[in-house]
Amino acid sequence: MSYPLRDQYHRARKALGRGLNRLWPSGDFAALAVPLMRATRPNEDDAGPAILPDQARQYLADRRGKTEEEAVYRLSVPVTVDPKMGILFHRGRVLWGSSDQPERERNPRFFSHLRKPGRVLSEAVLLHHVHGDNYFHFFLYVLSKAAVAEFAGIPDTIPLLVPEGTARTGFFKRAVEAGVFGKRQLIVQGKREVVRVETAHVVRVWFNDRRYHGWIAERLRPEAPSGSRRLFVLRGANAANGRQFRNQDKVSALAQAYGFELVDPAGLDLVQQAALFSTAGVLLGAHGAGLTNLIFRAGAPCHIIELFSPTMGSPQYYMLARELGFTYESQMTLAPEGRGFTATTEVDLAELERALKALPAV
């Protein structure tokens, strides 16, 4: 199914689900949430770089004219927490708008909130995000919340409640070992477990803010960014969403001829990635979660070359690069084969070489 048709189908399906969800009795989140800090800002009016897939262009268009919020809310009443998105319930009534992405809320475990919960916490900061088991989303929506909780002065005696899907990932475990969360106790909520929290703290973050990226980088990289290495970020043969280059060997050989090291982030743990990418003066790679590591270069110059498939892609890495003051360019790969989201493509070697020739000498 092509991107436009697939997107229309999923939007219609989700709209139907939300309509059915709204039949459940609900309460008013805003009436029960006390803002400890709150700020809003308009989304930037940015058309993006010249080369973007249609999906990425639409994402930027959809953001225009909207505002986003950074906030910490303390609930004034006890609530039960749904395990996936962190949607809250009070006395069995769902509090729509209580997660970090209100527009995507759907299908909580309604009936589980009518039963007595197995665990009761006196207080907790919620780190739930629907895609918290994804590397990119972990940085932008989970670690960023921990940063905002600290910026807002939430005492480190208040534990973090983390969904099991996030907690079981290797990158979360390594972040814990590296001390990213400091002295805060971490409590893992089971995949089907509803937890009652007497005083819950809900954190909302900007989508993309250099303060968050700097906070994350400083806690994970061993030292300040330095060096000017050229790194070609590979998508491994077992990458979850495919999108391999059919001419990968030729692309790798071309990159190496221009001084690039070949890097598969899947072979490195979180701290190793932080150390390596903090030394990168140039990053080249296919659109994908591996480019999230550009955050570790925060505070030093970097140039990004992103290779998009024409069948899918988002502008997030362009947006990260711009927020961190990096230079950025993108190219479109050719001849997609397979389903849109996972299609293989071929890199235009002549066009890539043109970009590599224009890089400053190492």
- pLDDT at position 84, please? 87
Residues 238-269 have pLDDT tens digits of: 666 667 899 999 999 999 999 999 999 999 99
Per-residue model confidence as pLDDT tens for the chain (362 residues):
555 566 665 566 666 666 778 899 999 999 999 999 999 999 999 999 999 999 999 999 999 999 999 999 999 999 999 998 999 999 999 999 999 999 889 999 999 999 999 999 999 999 999 999 999 999 999 999 999 999 999 999 999 999 999 999 999 999 999 999 999 999 999 999 999 999 999 999 999 999 999 999 999 999 999 999 999 999 866 666 667 899 999 999 999 999 999 999 999 999 999 999 999 999 999 999 999 999 999 999 999 999 999 988 899 999 999 999 999 999 999 988 877 678 899 999 999 999 999 998 65
pLDDT of residue 12: 65
Q: Note the pLDDT tens digit of each residue in 42-91.
A: 999 999 999 999 999 999 999 999 999 999 999 999 999 999 899 999 99
Residue 133, pLDDT score: 96
Here the tokens at position 281 are 């003066």
Q: Which domains are present in the chain?
A: 24-42+66-207 (no CATH), 221-357 (3.40.50)
Tell me the C-alpha distance between 169 and 172, whole Å.
5
CB 321 within 8 Å of CB 304: yes
pLDDT number for residue 340:
67
Total Cβ atoms within 10 A of residue 10: 11
Provide the pLDDT for residue 80.
98
CA end-to-end distance (rounded Å), the chain: 44
pTM: 0.92
Look up residue 361 and give its amino acid: A
